[in-house]
Amino acid sequence: MPPPLLFVAGLAIGVGLDRLVPIRLAADQGSRTPLVALGWLGIVSGVAFAAWAMRTFRRAQTAIVPNRPARTVVAAGPYRWSRNPMYVGLTAVYSGVALLRNTAWPLILLPMVLAALWFLVIRREERYLTHAFGDQYTRYQQSVRRWL
């Protein structure tokens, strides 16, 4: 499953649950101002971080899409701090949308989205990269955290 679809599915389910059983993060309009600011911060920073990661992959001339072969271990740009900066960016955008919509459901579902991402995507990616690049990737794993 393409990783962005996991996040879209989590948001869609969260919004659907919100229509059935609303759980608001802020009770009134006045208390929503910080949520709106944090929501936009999450969206803008998430898009920027993911875009930086994609640009770094393009410069390294390696595949962005997880089901295509990687040409190299990328350890530059945001990959100095996170092995999965695109997923970190998607998580920030997802959280920002939940804050803007003033609904707790997507945030409640976020651990399940991240667990699905790990089981369905990240484990497979890491097995492939370990097989393809051996000690080089293992050293990278040991020196850079998965998230942040």
Per-residue pLDDT tens digits for 41-93: 999 999 999 999 999 999 999 988 877 889 999 999 999 999 999 999 999 99
Residue 127 lies in a domain: yes
Query: Token digits for 29?
Result: 């309009």
Residue 118 lies in a domain: yes
Residue 73 lies in a domain: yes
Residue 107 lies in a domain: yes
Residue 148 lies in a domain: no
Single pTM value for the model: 0.93
Q: Could you give the number of structural domains in the chain? A: 1
Domain region containing 102: 3-20+31-143
Residue 47 lies in a domain: yes
